[in-house]
Structure 1
Amino acid sequence: MAININKLIILLLILMGMICYGQFRQDSVRDESSEFYNIAVNKVSDDGKWIVATKVYRQNYDTAVVLATGRSGVTSLVGTLTKKYQYSFVKGDQLLALGQGKAVLWNLRTGMQKEPKTGREGRESVNVMQSGVMEKGDKYFLQTSDSILHIYDAKSALLEKVERVQYFKVSGSGSVLYIVKKSGRETQLVKYSGNKVESVYAAPGMIRSMEETPSESFLILKEETRDGGGVNSSFQKVVLLDTKRGELVFPNIGEVRKEEYLRFTEIQNGSAMMITGMTHIPVEKGTVDIWYGNDGNLEAKQEGSFVKRYWIWKKDGNELMSVPSDRFSTVISLNNPDYFLMFNREELQNYSTLFPLIHGFLYDRKKGRYEDLGILQAEVSVSDRGSHFIYKNKECLWVLVDRETSRRTVLEKKDLTKAYFSPDGRTIYFESSSDLWKYEIKKGQFIALNIDHENEVKVVTKDETDLYPDSGYNFRRSILNVDVPVLLAVTRKGTIEKTFLKWEKGRLDTLMASSASNITWYKTDESLKKVVYVEESLHFPPRIVYKEIGKEKGNILFQSNVHDKISASIRREVISFNNREGTALKGLLYYPIGYIEGKKYPIVVHIYEVQSRNPNQYLSPLNNFPVGFSIRKLLEEGYFVYLPDIVNGPSGVGKSALDCVESSLDVLKTHTDVDLTNVGLIGHSFGGYRANFIAGNSNRFKTYISGAGASDLTRMYFSYNETSSTPFYWQFEEGQYNMHAAFAENKKLYMDNNPIENVHKVNAPMLLWTGMEDKRIVWDQTMEFYIGLKRNKKDVVALFYPGEAHVFTIGSKAEKDLALRIQDWWDYFLKGKRDIPWIDNQIKKDAD
């Protein structure tokens, strides 16, 4: 016992020394990233004249800039706001801003700012809690903490006050304000429109929620009622407000307990409604938890399960009908009140894929008949009238179904991704990796639309409704109207470079492009003639640009991080190389800041998958993902940084990585300024696994850093992933590891690519790190590799961070500590810096 206590004391002293050293380093090094910020556009006025954008620093986002699009450069800056987080544009070039209980109305032309009067001045306890606009900014409103809603015109004249307000929403059109308020013992729904408040409905109980359907045809209320007033006798009552007729409808769905969640799916723009009731069954904790080998719903072990029931309500005749759920657990509306897609989600779930195939049936409610559609993928698009739908079969071919005739047509053309119906349902448009395609249903013909034959084309402006929300499945009503301007995005293959095109009546006009930059955000006007977007590049920080179609260049309205004098001088080279299989690949080589030709510099190699797709990223000090890997920081410290592409081949995920990385280094032999005797390798997660594997199979690196990486593929293959609530083996067979075989089918492939098998061959010092709350790659995978290295007397330091997950908390002590230790590690092994106590504790003792 005394020996164990002595060991414990020594360990504590070592840990205290490490903590003190880390604290000293944190206090002594200035955090340069605190001076940098990203830019986020919050609001653009409907007329495109004004913009509000927030400066997003690492620790705060309480400063916003207001810009005028009619100007450029520094003259576009109208002013700044601090500690405001809610913004609305009011008619007359005014900005309504709310934050910390105060609202301000700012006339952007005159510069005058004022606080709207709520009639409660002098009462310090009354704060403004919510704000907004209606009627396209002709009116605005404020809700104060005393539950009063104040409605004003654009000249700040008080038009109306509504008291005892619980909550409210503005209609999609912006013309109506729906308000739920208390009135005595009742709860009322009132609406404000046309300068008057009108009572719509009074409920004796609580109106728990209200939502508007996508077509704005109905407002859905969920009212809480009580049977006999008992505590355990709360039920829900559904009330529909026909917004066009102003009529109330009460679908009689029977008893719905308070705990049952009701979801509403609109059918054919309000002609009908599908109602889904979902009751959550929590996980039971008992003496034993039984797991069955044929269980297709392992997610329920963590999340619990759901019991569902379904109804269809038809507007004509106020008819409510039950949809059977005894045979199938999942029922999907096909945008038609009489036809549904049904399946048992767990039937084909063997967890070898993330989203399993489904055995689908088309249910005809009127005839009570089920038609077997066979095995299909969970991807369905439905026409606006519900007359046709299209799904992908297991061969990845689209199958068109005519609901009236039940005729099924397999579309033999491959490489068609998403499908959209025309509003009349006669034509289907398909995205693909080469051009946009049109299929005329009556003729059965495909026509290329000649957008771009070489690159991926996607539709940006479309009309879609999710028919099965929050499932991960793609069941949608998908409509593309080519009679109005359509925004298309064309992505150049192998990159993230995009060109955005306005497509109108067959004519194409370029709205914006990112050939030498990244477009990270954009917003267009309805006519697609104007656009506001944020772009960045390797040589300039994010900036806000305003552009009009037809003009070659846009106006730069705001440039962030103007103090950054380094980015413009950063040098990057695109390296071309082939792996041993002859695959053409690329790598991004960044040069040290202040690079001097003829001088030798150490190099840090970062690995993951294909990294060359984004050569235009701005290297902000804020970009430090994975934790501790900041390209810019390394360049400033005098390192080359190299990001080679990695692709999987038949030899397996680890061997392919080894081949790609070593082939990429071979090409650098002609770069005499790169010191190939001082090369470090770093990776996180999937990159961490690859770093572990390469460490046991290469002699090209002087040191390695591996974060949260798998070390034992066999153990991980047969483990349970708490992040996805599934077994892990799908990630190996069809996911990121892409082994194309089960373990039992090719054990050698798994063993040959397993890092732990060659842990004894690691011949350079390794730094391992992980968060001990990591549920994605569990922390003991790192511990296993550490134990393997320790057993084989290798130089290793492992860092285990309590309370941190797969990605560390931004700004946490752990994040800062790890960043400092990683920099220490590079300096120690690649630059020869010594007297770093926490590293010396391993290396010097090992030398002794």
Structure 2
Amino acid sequence: MLRIMAININKLLILFFILLGMVCYAQVQDSVKDESSTYYNIAVNKVSNDGKWVVATKVYRQNYDTAVVLTTGKSGAQSLIGTLIRKYQYSFVKDNQLLALGQGKAVLWNLLTGMKKDLKTSQDGTESENITQSGTMEKGQKYFLQTSDSIIHIYNAKSKLLEEINRVQYFRVSSSGSVLYIVKKEGKETQLVKYFGNKADVMYSTPGMIRSMEETPSGSIIILKEETKGFGNTNSSSQKLVLFDTRRAELIFPDMNDIRRDEYLRCTEIQNGKAIMVTGMTHIPAEKSTVDIWYGNDGNLEAKQEGAFVKRYWIWKKEGNKVIKIPSDRFSTVISLNNPDYFLMFNRDELQNYSTLFPPVHGFLYDLNKGMYEDLGIMQAEVSVSHCGSHFIYKNKEDLWVLVDTETSRRVVLPKKDLKKGYFSPDSKAIFFESSNDLWKYDVEAGKLIALNIDQENEVNVITKNETDLYPESGYNFRKSIVNVSAPVLLSVTQKGSIEKTYLKWDRGKLQTLIASSASNITWHKTDESFSKAVYVEESLNEPPKIVYKEIGKEQGKVVFKSNPQDKISEIIRMETISFKNKEGVSLKGLLYYPIGYARGRKYPMVVHIYEVQSRNPNQYLSPLNNFPVGFSIRKLLKEGYFVYLPDIVNGSSGVGLSALDCVESSLDALQNHVGIDAKNVGLIGHSFGGFRTDFIAGHSNRFKTYISGAGASDLTRMYFSYNETSFTPFYWQFEEGQYNMHASYAENRKSYKENNPIENVHKVNAPILLWTGTEDKRIVWDQTMEFYIGLKRNKKDVVALFYPGEAHVFTIGSKAEKDLALRIQDWLDYFLKGKRNISWIERQIKKDAL
């Protein structure tokens, strides 16, 4: 007994010293100047409607409380009008004014004269510090402020007070921007107030509580969800829908009988307010009992954690104010097809075997008037619906689009594969399809599919479209999808094998280039309504992000802001694209970054980072803020005198692990004659999927001096048969159709699973390896890392494993764990690839005389 107590005490002492070491280690790194603290990303917050003014936020690693205000009328430093601190809401007011709010204070800034006015809402004229919301209406003709005492103050553009509305609970500006809808208390009543023009009118008053207010996408109906007390029983309550017709200024009370207070009501607009489909959802919490029973035929394992949802459905038709209950006894899921008489129905659990994340469904078209079901067969979870609900398209199990006429049930299978998302024209006479080669048009009446010759070689996507999610809680792609080709349409063309984009204005068949990226990345853009001008952020390998203003037809844009002017290193970063082929003959690329200060004739160590295809973005700006995965900063490694190599990896017939080994070693073969790389000092690093591949390669290759693997899967067999707590599903969908892409179940191809399993060859790892993970990782559970560590330890391999309490798959930005890991990764690489010594936490495992 005493011996056991002594052992336990020793264990506690060891744990204490380990934790003390970690604290001291973190304190040491805190004392080191962090270059990233002075760098920032740039995010465009607001652009005025006329394109003259831009507000952009400097996003630092630890804060985003600084914004710059720019004019597009000038370039360079002259474009900077001024700076705002701790302001987070921005609105443009008429006459070139900017309304900014933050930390309870609001300021109105005349951007032409430079005059700033601190806004005061109190009656005695003193400055108020309790402003909670701000905004504009009528295209900036008016602005409003809400204060913490529940008062909305409405002003004209000259700051004249027009209206004060008290006891406000919440509000919204209409989609047209001309009306302010307000829910407020008045005595014992709750009211809906409409502020329009210069007048506030009470549209509805009730003794109940209005729990929420929403506007339909068309703006034609305001939906109120009201909680009412039961008669004769003060403890009971229910809810009802109240509809306000914004065009007729009329109230409508759909008769839906008693709706429970705890039932969530989701409303889906049909045909711009012609009808509303109401879905009632009641949550049934997961049971907690003596035994938790799991059945083999259960298609809803998500309910084990999330609980289940019982749903019922109604359709409210505006004509005659009719409410009809939609039957749900045969099918649990009912989807709007933007038609008050036709619905898509299926049982979501029926075909769920968890071999795919979003399983196919056996769909039926339901005719409400006839009470009849039309069998549509097996369909993928992707549906696009027309503007008037007369047609919809879905993908069948052969991955072909099928066009359905709702009234006739006539189905037409479109013959071409590789048609991606589809968008109906407003008149439903045409469907436009994105694809990896051009934009395609299907003529519904003629039944012809033609390419539109936008770009026959590259991927074309529609940017300006009108989409409404018809089943938002599912994750399925069921949408009303419209593109209005009678007005200008913004398209993007993505170059194959890259993220480089060209933005085009497509107007009645005529194409004009608005923005083109060649040796740079366009990371954000905003255009005016006519697409005649644009504001966007552009960056490149050798230049930090900059904000550009460009007018269509002009070859060059105007740079109105350059970020991180202190950065002189990016100008001298050198990168080379390496071409190679794997053993299957697939042409691939790798990005090779040179050490800062590279001198020909010297040899430099190299760090190889792996994931999947990494060559698509050769023009990324290497900011000190770019450290994903955790602890991997290309820029820092280049400054420390390393080559950094990012080779492409694609899955081949041999399987996910062997394919990675093939691609990585083939990529290294392409560098074998490089005079600057020290081939004897090359390390491999990866995180998540890259961590799995690092584990696998470590058991098969002799090309690396050391390895670093973060949060990777080490045992495919165990992982395949595990339950994933992030998706609430068994994990085998990830292997059969997902990232691991094994194309077969474990039972169908046990040999391939075994051959590509890192743990099967843990005894063959022949170089020191650093493992790390967060103990709260639910995506790749932390004990996958522990298992690989145990395997390495049993086989007397040099391994150090880092387990970070409280951290998940991606570490918290700015946390001690993130800083600790970054420093240890640098230590590890320096120790093994540069020969740096006297790093105690490494040498505790690696004896000095062992090298």
Q: TM-score, normalised by structure 2?
A: 0.98
For residue 18 of structure 1, report the CA deviation from its aligned partner. Answer: 2.7
CA separation in 2, counterparts of 1:838 and 1:625?
24
CA separation in 2, counterparts of 1:816 and 1:117?
44
Amino acid at match of 2:255: N
Asked if 1:56 corresponds to 2:59, the answer is: yes
CA separation in 2, counterparts of 1:698 and 1:493?
32
Asked if 1:537 corresponds to 2:552, the answer is: no
In the other structure, the counterpart of 1:422 is: 425
In the other structure, the counterpart of 2:281 is: 278
CA separation in 2, counterparts of 1:641 and 1:313?
61
CA separation in 2, counterparts of 1:66 and 1:6?
61
In the other structure, the counterpart of 1:489 is: 492
Change (3 A) 1:524 1:172: same
For residue 830 of structure 1, report the CA deviation from its aligned partner. Answer: 0.3
* Aligned match for 2:364, one of 357, 361, 366: 361
Instruction: Kindly report which structure 2 residues correspond to 1:422-461, keeping only aligned pairs within 5 A, or say none.
Output: 422-461=425-464
Change (3 A) 1:733 1:434: same
CA separation in 2, counterparts of 1:44 and 1:590?
36
Amino acid at match of 2:297: N
Instruction: Kindly report which structure 2 residues correspond to 1:243-322, keeping only aligned pairs within 5 A, or say none.
Output: 243-322=246-325
Instruction: Kindly report which structure 2 residues correspond to 1:773-792, keeping only aligned pairs within 5 A, or say none.
Output: 773-792=776-795
For residue 546 of structure 1, report the CA deviation from its aligned partner. Answer: 0.3
In the other structure, the counterpart of 2:818 is: 815
Change (3 A) 1:676 1:231: farther
In the other structure, the counterpart of 1:128 is: 131
CA separation in 2, counterparts of 1:586 and 1:689?
21
In the other structure, the counterpart of 1:12 is: 15
Change (3 A) 1:596 1:604: same
Change (3 A) 1:619 1:461: same
In the other structure, the counterpart of 1:696 is: 699
In the other structure, the counterpart of 1:213 is: 216
Asked if 1:799 corresponds to 2:802, the answer is: yes
CA separation in 1, counterparts of 2:192 and 2:16?
66
CA separation in 2, counterparts of 1:203 and 1:197?
17
For residue 117 of structure 1, report the CA deviation from its aligned partner. Answer: 3.0
In the other structure, the counterpart of 2:831 is: 828
* Aligned match for 1:717, one of 712, 717, 720: 720
CA separation in 2, counterparts of 1:282 and 1:121?
53
Instruction: Kindly report which structure 2 residues correspond to 1:658-669, keeping only aligned pairs within 5 A, or say none.
Output: 658-669=661-672
* Aligned match for 2:94, one of 86, 91, 95: 91
Change (3 A) 1:138 1:125: closer
In the other structure, the counterpart of 2:106 is: 103
* Aligned match for 1:582, one of 573, 579, 585: 585
For residue 670 of structure 1, report the CA deviation from its aligned partner. Answer: 1.2
Instruction: Kindly report which structure 2 residues correspond to 1:606-755, keeping only aligned pairs within 5 A, or say none.
Output: 606-755=609-758
Instruction: Please tell me whether the aligned partners of residues 577 and 591 of structure 2 are also in contact (alpha carbons under 8 angstroms).
Output: yes
Query: Residue 770 of structure 2: SS of its match in structure 1?
Result: strand
For residue 25 of structure 1, report the CA deviation from its aligned partner. Answer: 2.7
* Aligned match for 1:346, one of 349, 367, 383: 349
* Aligned match for 2:407, one of 404, 409, 414: 404
For residue 10 of structure 1, report the CA deviation from its aligned partner. Answer: 5.2
Instruction: Please tell me whether the aligned partners of residues 522 and 534 of structure 1 are also in contact (alpha carbons under 8 angstroms).
Output: yes
In the other structure, the counterpart of 2:162 is: 159
Amino acid at match of 2:809: H
In the other structure, the counterpart of 1:601 is: 604
For residue 230 of structure 1, report the CA deviation from its aligned partner. Answer: 4.2
Amino acid at match of 2:562: Q
For residue 470 of structure 1, report the CA deviation from its aligned partner. Answer: 2.8
CA separation in 1, counterparts of 2:813 and 2:581?
38
Amino acid at match of 2:550: K
Higher mean alpha-carbon deviation, 449-458 vs 121-130, is at 121-130
Change (3 A) 1:833 1:230: farther
Instruction: Please tell me whether the aligned partners of residues 152 and 168 of structure 2 are also in contact (alpha carbons under 8 angstroms).
Output: yes
In the other structure, the counterpart of 1:46 is: 49
For residue 672 of structure 1, report the CA deviation from its aligned partner. Answer: 1.2
For residue 145 of structure 1, report the CA deviation from its aligned partner. Answer: 1.2
CA separation in 1, counterparts of 2:81 and 2:609?
42
Change (3 A) 1:202 1:487: same
Amino acid at match of 1:840: E
In the other structure, the counterpart of 1:591 is: 594
For residue 17 of structure 1, report the CA deviation from its aligned partner. Answer: 5.3
CA separation in 2, counterparts of 1:133 and 1:123?
23
For residue 832 of structure 1, report the CA deviation from its aligned partner. Answer: 0.2
- Give the paired residue count: 848
CA separation in 1, counterparts of 2:520 and 2:129?
47
For residue 319 of structure 1, report the CA deviation from its aligned partner. Answer: 0.8
After superposition, the C-alpha distances for 1:523-557 in whole angstroms (9 at most, x for unaligned) are 00000001000111101111100000000110000
Change (3 A) 1:711 1:457: same
Amino acid at match of 2:53: W
After superposition, the C-alpha distances for 1:631-681 in whole angstroms (9 at most, x for unaligned) are 000000000000000000111100000000001001111111100100000
For residue 237 of structure 1, report the CA deviation from its aligned partner. Answer: 1.4
Instruction: Please tell me whether the aligned partners of residues 119 and 128 of structure 2 are also in contact (alpha carbons under 8 angstroms).
Output: no
In the other structure, the counterpart of 1:225 is: 228
After superposition, the C-alpha distances for 1:125-160 in whole angstroms (9 at most, x for unaligned) are 861111000000000000111111100000000001
CA separation in 2, counterparts of 1:93 and 1:639?
50
CA separation in 2, counterparts of 1:326 and 1:405?
25
CA separation in 2, counterparts of 1:6 and 1:167?
59
For residue 119 of structure 1, report the CA deviation from its aligned partner. Answer: 3.2
Instruction: Please tell me whether the aligned partners of residues 771 and 801 of structure 2 are also in contact (alpha carbons under 8 angstroms).
Output: yes
For residue 27 of structure 1, report the CA deviation from its aligned partner. Answer: 3.2
Instruction: Please tell me whether the aligned partners of residues 356 and 737 of structure 2 are also in contact (alpha carbons under 8 angstroms).
Output: yes
After superposition, the C-alpha distances for 1:57-86 in whole angstroms (9 at most, x for unaligned) are 000000000000111111110000001010
Instruction: Please tell me whether the aligned partners of residues 395 and 402 of structure 2 are also in contact (alpha carbons under 8 angstroms).
Output: yes
CA separation in 1, counterparts of 2:307 and 2:19?
43
CA separation in 2, counterparts of 1:127 and 1:13?
48
Change (3 A) 1:273 1:490: same
Instruction: Please tell me whether the aligned partners of residues 25 and 820 of structure 1 are also in contact (alpha carbons under 8 angstroms).
Output: no
Amino acid at match of 2:415: E
* Aligned match for 1:28, one of 24, 28, 31: 31
For residue 20 of structure 1, report the CA deviation from its aligned partner. Answer: 4.6
After superposition, the C-alpha distances for 1:453-502 in whole angstroms (9 at most, x for unaligned) are 00011111111111111311111111111111000000011111100000
For residue 448 of structure 1, report the CA deviation from its aligned partner. Answer: 1.2
CA separation in 2, counterparts of 1:578 and 1:229?
79
* Aligned match for 2:382, one of 379, 382, 388: 379
CA separation in 2, counterparts of 1:400 and 1:5?
70
Asked if 1:118 corresponds to 2:121, the answer is: yes
Change (3 A) 1:124 1:785: same
Query: Residue 412 of structure 1: SS of its match in structure 2?
Result: coil
Amino acid at match of 2:293: I
* Aligned match for 2:564, one of 561, 579, 582: 561
Amino acid at match of 2:96: D
Asked if 1:142 corresponds to 2:169, the answer is: no
Structure 2 unaligned residues grouped into runs of 5+: none
After superposition, the C-alpha distances for 1:282-305 in whole angstroms (9 at most, x for unaligned) are 111110100000000000001111
Instruction: Please tell me whether the aligned partners of residues 126 and 146 of structure 1 are also in contact (alpha carbons under 8 angstroms).
Output: no
Instruction: Please tell me whether the aligned partners of residues 104 and 128 of structure 2 are also in contact (alpha carbons under 8 angstroms).
Output: no
Instruction: Please tell me whether the aligned partners of residues 180 and 207 of structure 1 are also in contact (alpha carbons under 8 angstroms).
Output: yes
Instruction: Kindly report which structure 2 residues correspond to 1:193-204, keeping only aligned pairs within 5 A, or say none.
Output: 193-204=196-207
Higher mean alpha-carbon deviation, 228-237 vs 384-393, is at 228-237
